[in-house]
Structure 1
Amino acid sequence: MNARIAPTTPINLHPDVIIRSARTVIATEAAAALALEPRIGPAFVEACRLILGCRGRVVVSGMGKSGHIGRKIAATLASTGTPAFFVHPGEASHGDLGMILPQDVVLAISYSGETDELLFILPVIKRQGIPLIAITGRPTSSLATQADVHLDGSISSEACPLGLAPTTSTTVALVLGDALAIALLEARGFTSDDFARSHPAGALGRRLLLHISDVMHSGDEVPRVAPDASLTAALVEMTRKHLGMTAVVDAEQRLLGVFTDGDLRRALDDDGVDLRGATVAELMTRGPKTIGADKLAAEAAQLMEKYQIHALLVVDDEQRVVGALNIHDLLRARVV
């Protein structure tokens, strides 16, 4: 049987104690992050200059918790226009140093600035003339003094009451990394379109990259009838094409109007309409909302929401119907 191991110290689950502890951590880390602001100066500008002038990539490295922060910084840099990747310093001395090229820039993270695994590979980095940016909490440390640029990530205390678990120090390093990424983003003129291209599977990528032409029905899939078509013919076309509406077009496929489920309901409620003898032109909605095939799919979603409609016809510059889509097409494309 597995015996339950008793805790070595009493457990205090009093709500006030837990809330006070959490608030203290937040206040401590927030104060440390704010204390960074006056330290952003020439060294930070030089770090940005080195990275902007880099013909290769930013190679981020760090051990332990600093390594975890380094991975996130590398990912943020890469997604905001600065090619970057993470190299574990322990693996670097066993072959992964070959991943670092002379045209790269190295960003090393160590609060103490004395991490053995990082210091061990410094001579190889320096010998290749690779610029080194260091984030440490000790400006006089070995790593800081050997770096081309040192970013001061020092703190007054960790949020951990024992002063042992890296908490405030890792938060400060992460904030510095984010500050670098965003400063570089702005310096490069990185746009939302650029961001979308590196996130094609994300919600932002879909909103900024997916066009109407990518999601619309075209050709024979587009419901359309002539203006003299009967109500029965319009309903058959709507049923066959499953879009809840049909375009009404002339002989040149130019849009005259649209007939929807709503138009049918209104016709059924109007005692003055002869449903057997009426043509679709008498019952259709004139001047319907349309969209161009080159527009973003997100714009179709905005139109549908604004006008409380569930489908749109796609037209060219001469108002010829070239496609159609409904809300379900946007849902399948995960635009909404």
Structure 2
Amino acid sequence: MDINITPVKTSKIKDIDFSNLAFGHVFTDHMLVCNYKNGAWEAPEIMPYGPLSFEPSARVFHYGQAVFEGMKAYKDEAGDLFLFRPDESVKRLNKSSERLAIPALPEEIFHKGLAELLHLENEWIKPGKGNSLYIRPFVIATEGAIAASPAQEYKFIIICSPAQAYYAGEVRVLIAEKFSRSADGGVGYAKAAGNYAAQFYPTSLAHKEGYQQIIWTDANTHEYLEEAGTMNIFFRIGDTLITAPTNDRILDGITRKSIVQLAQDEGVNMEVRDFSVKELKEAARSGALKEIFGSGTAAVVNPIKGFKHGDEVFELPEVTDSFAARFKDKLLNIQYNIEADPYGWRVKI
């Protein structure tokens, strides 16, 4: 597979303050673009990052055929580049695409195209624990037609953004009682763009109450805890770690499944099961609730300091043997080639 590369004439990297990066606002010099036309994916191209031109009738604007992934590239102290479980990312991208009637992307285009792009953007990836290059692969429907049916033309694009260690400050959450993130038979398990847009309004209401995120509950009864904002979620009751099982409402998070594997292998009592709001509140009242934390690509692990449900507000205790800190450090050490990776998750580029 040949990839046509058009490099920038002058890099903008010299104008970037890498010590003061706002997440997702600065982008590298190049992007990868691959078109789907006449029933097939064409050869990808790498070109200077910049605006693209679309018909106002492009179906993505009208029917929301858009899916994406989130990944990171890491550089160790020797200057080698690594990805974390990239095979899982391309599989999930295609799983999301299938649900939105988007043609599957050949894995060779994903893997080879991304590797070429990362080598070209090598200087944008800074070494040091916490520094990384956030990678956003996505697919959108570009055919100019407003008939309510799947498009016949698409673009697969990869853009990259340098990132520092993600710190959201102290996070407190509101447990959803009215709004839902997803429902049975829906697209909750897919990384569909519309899933995230639908969260913005209820999350803005939570902000007005002084909460940074929402813990989503099941749409049928609002009795069972599912995800936190845009992250999977874990609860530590005593020395037992609990997370909800994946289904067609819950994203099969790559960080989530990695933490589950680490916990099981390190002898932590790991339960993947339905976990109710009632059980959570009872554990908080009794003192058995030790930790709540979210997991995802951007933050890796994000501790939650407190929550509200109904008229009740709960604060979590400070713990000295934090599972959140333990598993975050373990994952980062694997990602940055600081310690051995017995799972084969770390892939050298």
TM-score past 0.5 threshold = no
Please say which structure displays the higher CA radius of gyration: 1
Task: Specify which structure has the bigger relative contact order, considering alpha-carbon pairs within 8 angstroms and separated by 6 or more residues.
Answer: 2
* TM-score, length basis structure 2: 0.23
TM-score (norm 1): 0.23
More helix by share: 1
Q: Larger strand proportion, structure 1 or 2?
A: 2
